[in-house]
Every structure is written in C-alpha cells, then in structure tokens.
Structure 1
Amino acid sequence: MLYRHLIKKLDLTSLHLLVSIHEEGSLTKAAEREMLALSAASKRLQEVEQVLGIALFERTLKGMKPTAAGETLLFYARKILMDVEKISIDVGEYLEGIRGHVRMMANISAIIEFLPEDLQRFMSSHGQVKVHLEERPSAGVVKGVGEGAADLGICSADIDIGELVAVPYRHDELVVVMRQDHPLAAHSHVPFRETLAFDQVGLHTDSFINLRTQAAARSEGKILKQRIQVPGFDGVCRMVQADLGIGVLPRKAFELIGKPLGLYAAGIDDDWAQRTLSLVVRNREGLSPVSRLLYEHLLHDQP
C-alpha cells in the first residue's frame, strides 16, 4: 500500500523539488528554481513526508538540511532523474540520426595526453555517435561512474575504485617542469626530495598529482612549498615560465604545453612517478551497445 501511494506522489516534479531543496537549502528558493508557487511546493513536500511517515528535511539556522531518510531518498531521486535525462537524450538523438550517446568522465591527464587521438579515431569510424566528456579528478571520476552519471571513466590506478571494474588503459610518467636556468635543469632525473627546497606551482587541491606530491613530501618529513595553485597543466607551465616555481606534470603534457614555452623537464626517480591510468565501469555486461563499442576501442585501439 505504501508503494502505491509513494509512486503517486513521487512524480518527476516532486523529485526535482526535493533535489532543489537540498541544493538551495531553502523551500522558497527551490520553489522559484522549479517555477512552482511556494504553497504548491510546500504541499508537495508535505504529501511525500505524510506518505512516508517521516520528515525528509529539518529546518536549521543555516537552512533546510536533509534527515537520514532524506539523504536516502535524495540518492535515489538523483539516480532516477539522471536515468530519465539519459533516456530523453538517447531517444532524442536517435530521432536526429545519432546512433548513440556515451557519457565519459576522465582526469585531466587522460584528457590532455591520450583521449584526443583515441576519440578522434573512434569518431572517425562512428560519425553518428556523440560522446559527452567531463573532466574530473580521479576520485570524482570514480564517484561519477559509481553513481551512474557516466558510463565510462578514466582515472589513476592508485585511487580506490570501490566496487567498480577497472582495466589498465595507458601508462604515463610524471616529470618536474622548470625554467632552463633553474638549478635542477642540469639533471635529466632527480629524486623528488631534491625538489622540496624550491617553490612549487601546484594543481588544484583534489587533483591526484597534487595529492601524490603532498604525500611524497610528507614521507620525507617536509611540507610542499606551494607558492600558487592553478586548475590545469597550461596554468602550471605559464606560472613556471613566469618564475613562480617548479611544477609536476605528465611527460606528454609537458611535451605538448611546456616544451613550446621553452621549459625543461627532468624525470622523477621515485617509483610513484610511473603511473597507470585505468578505464573503469560499473558493470561491463551492463554497458549499452555504443558504450561497449567505445570501451573496446579504448582498450584495444592503441598506437
């Protein structure tokens, strides 16, 4: 009986409203965002809570916060809304002649180093397939694939992937990037500990490279002397060029971005500088035909 009543109350408008209340922290703002009258929004929330027999939100001085039951419902609400969005996109694109749509998430290393050529080869043979690619740090890739926001993901193999399925995708090497006149430029390879005496230009806080270099510094009993943090590899190279410090990048990213700027790269002797990138999915058997096609391409069509 509860199931039937809940299905009647949990239409897509109500699900959108619940997500908006959580994100806005306010019923008034959520109603405005969903273009509902405040009274109608309040009634929808009350009806869902009445059917469940439990409060989904609590009002605090900082706004409306989900209860434990609310957190559970929000998890499923987001999943349902993502599935509905995917249905609308996929079906709509069949009508437009596009045979399929694949959602991908990848870390910045994969996007800069490998995916442009890999996707070009794939899409040149499958011109009616659309790929939506979103850049996220490795932990964000795992979260996105796990929640169903992406069909495929590429992340560092060192990250905890939980229950996802992972296979090796590519290997890369981290290097220290510096100006030609930097004291370390006399070396082709350096232990990472020797870089810790110098100011460093870091990537954003959640990036795997930032987390790994911070951990490497701690293992030496030191603190990474980050003078500035930037969101991408191009920013690291420009700041290094401006003599604001040295940086750590994948070698191929350096070849593409740093070398044309006249910078120099030295290899890092530490084992962690040799990396593997993984291709992750929730379930290989559960992939759509077009997602499986891209999955197989990324695994086997490598130069």
Structure 2
Amino acid sequence: MRDLDLTTLRLFVAVCEARNIARAAEQHHIVASAISKRLAQLEQQVGHTLIDRRRRGVVPTGAGEILLQHARAMLAAGDRVGRDMAAYGNGITGQVRILASVSSIAEFLPDDIAAFLQAPAHRDIRVDIEEAVSSELVRSLREGVVPVGVCWDAADLQGLQTRSYRRDHLAIITPLSHPLARRRRCAFEDTLAFDHVGLPASTAVHTMLARAAAIIGRPVNYRAVVSTFDASMRCVRAGLGIAVVPREVAAPVAASLGVRVLPLTDGWAQRRFTVCFHDEKKLSPAARMLVEHLHQAAVLAEESQAAG
C-alpha cells in the first residue's frame, strides 16, 4: 500500500466528525466533489469501503472506524512535528512530551517539572504535559505516541520499563456535619452506607473503588460524578455526598472549603506512582534527564519525610 496522504486523512477525519461531506467541505474551504474524489481514492488505496452514505449524512464503516483511529494519531503526530520544529527554531534544543494521570498532575508533578526546568542545564528544554487516564496513557506509550508517562503503578504496565516515583494516600472528604466527620481515620467499608461523589469510570480512582466495593460485596452509591478532585470537594461542601480524594490534594484546602479529611485505613489506599517508558535506551537525552530527575525528586521527598 502506498504512503497515506495526510491531507486526505485530514479530510476523511473531518467528514467522519461532521457526518456530512458538504459540511466538511465548508470547514476546509474546498468543494464537496473534491473531497468525494479523495475519499474514493483512499478507499481504493486501503481496499475497503470507509464511509456509508445515508440519506441524512455519512457514517464510518467498521474499516472506517479503524482507519479513523489511526488517522487521528497520525495527524496528531504530524502536528507535533510542526510544533517541535517551530520550538527548535525559537531556540528550544530538547523537548519532552509526557502523559500523566489526573492525580499526579493535581499533586506533585507540575512542581517537580518546574524544578527540572529551572536548572541552568535544562534551560533549553521544553516539557509538554497532557492529562490522560491510565489505560490511554499506557496504550500511547506502547504505540510510541509519547515517550514518557506518569501513572499509578497498579496500571497494566506489562512490556514497559519503569522508575519509582512519589506516593500518595487516599482519604475520605466529608462535610463538617457528616456522621463520619468525628473520626480521625476511616475504613472504606464504613463509607458505603453514604452517598458518594465520584470521578468518571475511566479514572484509576473509580476503578480502585469499584474493585474494593466488589470485594466487600456492597455497591458504591454515586449521587454525583464530576471530572476533577476540586469539583468533587466542592460537591462535598454543598452536601451532595462524601468523596475519595488524595489526602495530598485535599489537606491544603480543607479548612478554606470547610470539609474534613479522613485518611483511609485500607492498605490499597496508599498508592505509589511510577514514571514509565517503552525503552530507556531509546529515550532522547532530554527525556532521560527528566526521568532521572523525577525519580530522584521522589527519593529525596521520601528521605525528607523519614527524617521528619
């Protein structure tokens, strides 16, 4: 099969997203017949029908869905090439793209990366951070879309290399008037009698809580599902339920929000994060230095806590 043309792939993605050839043509300032011709050539090239034309528009076929996924990844990679070359032209001599879980971004990763960039030896390095759920992060590492990821070490990291990173401790967040608020610590089982505020099903925290509840044999009753820890704590303050949030995120703002932070006593509530990558030997010098910096930052933090 000949090399796929990025312009044609971009138009194919536009058609799939708009579900309409004419609308995609308007968006890209091209006539609809030109898009139709490119799509026909693309179908001939891959040997499969890619879109199903219906009275109210078009939808991708099974083969089209497969190509759509790859096309988006190829276009994203092409866009990154353009950004990286522009950054190089502006004096950036090293660039690292990193995918990270919401917990690591909410807790410690931004400060550790900022410390890395402040070192004189790293002043010409650029680090781009993007949030991702663990499953997406691991898939991107395996497919070579990104060089480095940071996530909870209980994720499926088979086939990847890792360096240990920081720890956190999950806690229950309650309103001050809640029956659990009188406690200093809490077992997860004791929270299942109350309504919860949760994170989306794709997140590591949701997966962990679902697994723990299944072992106990009781469900988690979610009254609200939000996308961030900050939103979940605000829902708790409003009295919509209790929430499971890393203590490291909640403790600094608990007083201002008027909530209580009760560390969970369950063993699984103490989590360790990891810096992961496909092959350390294939990392760029900038990425290798960042990985080492993050690992050492975690080592120093643990030594400081032990000394304290």
Provide TM-score, normalisation by structure 1: 0.88
- Counterpart secondary structure, 1:189: coil
Deviation for aligned residue 1:63: 5.0
Q: Is the aligned partner of 1:91 residue 2:85?
A: yes
SS at match of 1:248: strand
Percent of aligned positions with the same letter in both sequences?
Answer: 37
| Aligned partner of residue 129 in structure 2, secondary structure | strand
Q: 1:142 aligns with which of 135, 138, 142?
A: 138
Name the count of aligned residue pairs: 297
Pairwise CA distance, 1:205: 2.9
Match of 1:166 among 142, 145, 162: 162
Moved over 6 A (4+): none
Gaps of 5+ in 2: 302-308
* Deviation string, structure 1 residues 199-254 (Cα, Å, up to 9, x no partner): 21112332211222233223222221211122211112222122222111111011
Using the alignment, how far apart are the partners of 1:171 and 1:107 within structure 2?
13
Q: Note the 1:256-275 alignment, pairs <5 A.
A: 256-275=252-271
Secondary structure of the residue that 1:301 maps to in structure 2?
helix
Q: Partner amino acid for 2:157? A: I
Matching of residue 25 in structure 1 with residue 19 in structure 2: yes
Distance in 1, Cα, partners of 2:295 & 2:164: 8
d(CA) in 2 for partners of 1:203, 1:192: 16
The alpha carbon displacement at 1:98 in A equals 1.6
Q: Aligned in 2, Cα 1:206/1:62: closer, same or farther, shift over 3 Å?
A: farther
**Post-superposition shift, 1:182?**
2.2
Structure 1's 259 and 283: CA in aligned 2 closer, same or farther, altered over 3 A?
Answer: farther
User: Which of these residues, 143, 146, 149, is aligned with residue 153 of structure 1?
Assistant: 149
Residues 1-303 of structure 1: pairs in structure 2 closer than 5 A: 3=1, 6-7=2-3, 10-59=4-53, 63-125=57-119, 126-302=122-298, 303=301
What's the counterpart of residue 306 of structure 2? Answer: none
Alpha-carbon distance change, 71 to 265 in structure 1, aligned in 2, over 3 angstroms: same
CA distance in 2, matches of 1:295, 1:188: 36
Task: Give the whole-Å Cα distance in 2 for the aligned partners of 1:178 and 1:80.
Answer: 45
User: 2:198, 2:184 → 1: CA distance?
Assistant: 21
Report if aligned partners of 1:79, 1:148 keep a CA contact under 8 Å in 2. no
250-259 vs 50-59, which moves further = 50-59
Asked if the contact 1:100–1:128 (Cα under 8 Å) also holds between the matched residues in 2, the reply is: yes
The SS at the match of 1:134 is strand
Structure 1 gap segments, 5+ residues each: none
Alignment partners' CA distance in 2, 1:221 and 1:76: 40
Secondary structure of 2:110 counterpart: helix
Q: Give the C-alpha shift of residue 189 in structure 1.
A: 2.1
Alignment-mate amino acid for residue 272 of structure 2: T
Q: CA RMSD in A?
A: 2.3
